[in-house]
Amino acid sequence: MNIKQILFFVVAVLLFSMETFAQRQFNLSSPDGRVTVKVEVGDDIKWSASLDGKPVILPGSVSMAVNKDILGKKPVLLSQSRRQINNRITVDVPRKNKTEQDLCNELLLQFKNNYSLIFRAYNEGAAYRFETKYKNEVLVENEDVNLSFNPGSQVFFPEEESIISHYERSYIDTALASLSLGRFCSLPVLVTSGGVRVLVTEADLFDYPNLFLSATAGNSLAAKFPPVLLQADPGKRPDRDEKIVKEADYIARTSGTRTFPWRVFTITDDDRKLAESDMVFKLSRPVAINDTKWIKPGKVAWDWWNANNIYGVDFEAGLNTATYKYYIDFAAKYGLEYIILDEGWSKTTTDLTAPNPDINLEELISYGKSKGVGVILWMLWKPLDQNMEKHLDQFVKWGAKGIKVDFMQRADQYMVNYYERVARECAKRQLLVDFHGAFKPSGLHRAYPNVMSYEGLKGAENNKWGKLITPDHNLTLPFIRMVAGAMDYTPGAMINANKVSFRDIFDNPMSMGTRCHQFAMYVVYESPLQMLADNPTHYYKEPESTEFISKMPVTWDETRVLDAKVSDYILVARRKGAKWYAGAMTDWTPRTLTLDCSFLPPGNYKIEMMQDGVNAGRNGNDYKKVVQKITNGSKLVLNLAAGGGWAGIIEKAD
């Protein structure tokens, strides 16, 4: 063989090797081996996922358009590396568990043109994200997220009518392929593919817009993002609304060296594991503030849902000092840490420095302090945005303990950054934050533990004007919205009705389902700032119910979902210290569940439980309190009425 032939052979081998390298496939399995992620690098980058070898997410491409270059098209793979992550995370404000195990296997693929793709496989699912290393700021024109599922897939679809949204949606249970082209939803969204649940959401969302997903008229979903907002004019309500006038042709202007949000997929054939999942927290950035000891979660007496309709008092109820002292007295009596002053405490919604003249705010806050009750102030996002530091300094001067920010209704990059700015500036001043009128949690609560809760759901307030907050709806939330993070649902209704007797009454609202359905929410629903939404007068008239609710913690050391089916029923046990708390909820179908007490350590226990009364199916207010002795060998039969529930508090027997 002459030199020319040798050179030709060497070149051919190199070209063949490069081509082979360019077409490589990578498999990444979860630590328990059940979840497998396959990544294919060819003309584009595709990934898929399976559970126990069964395809769940079918091959779909991923790419990102940055500075007119499409990362992921014609990729040139430079290197790959793998590692196992196994960390124990101590949670500052634990919504599920005091410690979380962050256990996964990771694959990092580095490509020419200064970008990488990172994939992770957890026992509970999978995730991926882009990372770039450019010197200068970049424009992200778009990111393609293409998700394909098995034929015949079903979806709980939180359909949006507009990209301007409070994320207050009902979940449409339908065939994925039945959704016409262009219909789109916010996250989280739950798909059932080949009998396996796939919960799609995102984590570590910073300086980047929220992801929405559009239907394709088939068994797939594709990314949709709100563009960068360039110009907005006041809407019909200029203190809170905006009319979008001009948008950019890109979705983010951001640092060129950064990691982008995780695309998160909880994958399981066990609905219990879906409700237990905390992937969003584990995939988000660590705590960004030095001191978290001041953060005090708690229960809250809330005024707006019950329209301040207290009675049996010798003063006129309303937005005044006397009414809120009544709320403070109620909170103090039952050991509630806070009250909220919702809309109306300020003279106008646009001036947050001038209290309503009928409310002596400083006197009220001082009165609350003397009773051990803090005050949280509601406000619209726009006035706060316009002079944030001045307003927050004033709230601290008054002695407020936190803020409730409302009506954001946008999910673009500016609004994501606004959330972080609120969290950061409030943390500097030791103020708690509750985001109402908000998009879903996406990891900010890990970086800033002073962020207590988010609405971003269709919650109890909708009982005031409609009939959509059914037990069926309530049984979707633990498996979809709550997987993303805490929920400001606002439970605690003391007027409880069945399908026939329910009425939507704005100033004197009620709930669908039984009283015990409401009790159970204090165990099932996660929120470190948990509301008692009803009228304090009603609670005073129901001391047995109120005393029971007041014993419920708002943070947890350990969580176990014992029995569950999406949209049908759930049975949860949670531990706080040495005590256990259990809650069960059902939809409109009466059910019998069994509480297997084997999760308890050996010993003798006392359980105090609230169960649906014999007539709860006719009158939702009917319940029965039962106290009995149990051991870890006990199995309690729980009879739940239509729209019913059950709740119990378990402690060591004397």
Q: Which residue is associated with the tokens 């609120």?
A: 422
Mark whether 102 is an active-site residue: no
Q: In sequence order, which ranges of 51-196 are alpha helices (DSSP H)? A: none
In whole angstroms, give the CA distance from residue 285 to residue 428.
19
DSSP per residue over 362-396, as a string?
A: HHHHHHHHHHT-EEEEEEEHHHHHHTHHHHHHHHH
Gap between the terminal Cα atoms of the chain:
93
Segments of 23-150 assigned E as strands: 25-29, 35-41, 45-51, 54-66, 69-71, 77-90, 99-111, 115-122, 125-133, 138-149
Is 406 a known active-site residue?
yes
Q: Does residue 169 contact residue 158 with C-beta atoms inside 8 Å?
A: yes
Give the other-Cβ count within 10 Å of 5's Cβ. Answer: 9
Q: Of these residues, 160, 271, 276, 406, which one is catalytic?
A: 406
Nearest Cα to Cα of residue 624 among 637, 635, 609: 609
CB–CB of 351/382 below 8 Å? no
E runs forming strands in 252-369: 252-254, 257-259, 262-268, 298-302, 338-341
- Please confirm whether the linkage preceding 188 is cis (ω < 30° from 0): yes
Q: What are phi and psi of 205, to 5 degrees?
A: -90, 105
- State how far the Cα of 35 lies from the Cα of 50, in Å rounded to an integer: 6
State the number of CA atoms in the 13 A half-sphere of 229 facing the CB.
Answer: 19
Secondary structure letter of residue 270 according to DSSP: -
Give the contacts of 564 (CB within 8 A, at least 6 positions apart): 271, 272, 274, 275, 478, 479, 570, 571
Under DSSP, the state recorded for 354 is S
**Choosing from 124, 455, 461, 534, which is the catalytic residue?**
461
Query: How many Å apart are CA 267 and CA 193, to the nearest integer?
Result: 10
Query: 58: which 2 tokens?
Result: 């079918």
DSSP 8-class letter at 210: P
Torsion of CA 559, 562, 565, 570, to 10 degrees: -70
Residues 6+ apart with CB under 8 A from 474: 513, 517, 521, 585, 587
Burial of 182 per CB tally in 10 Å (0-12, 13-18, 19+)? exposed
Among all residues, which ones are annotated catalytic?
Answer: 406, 461
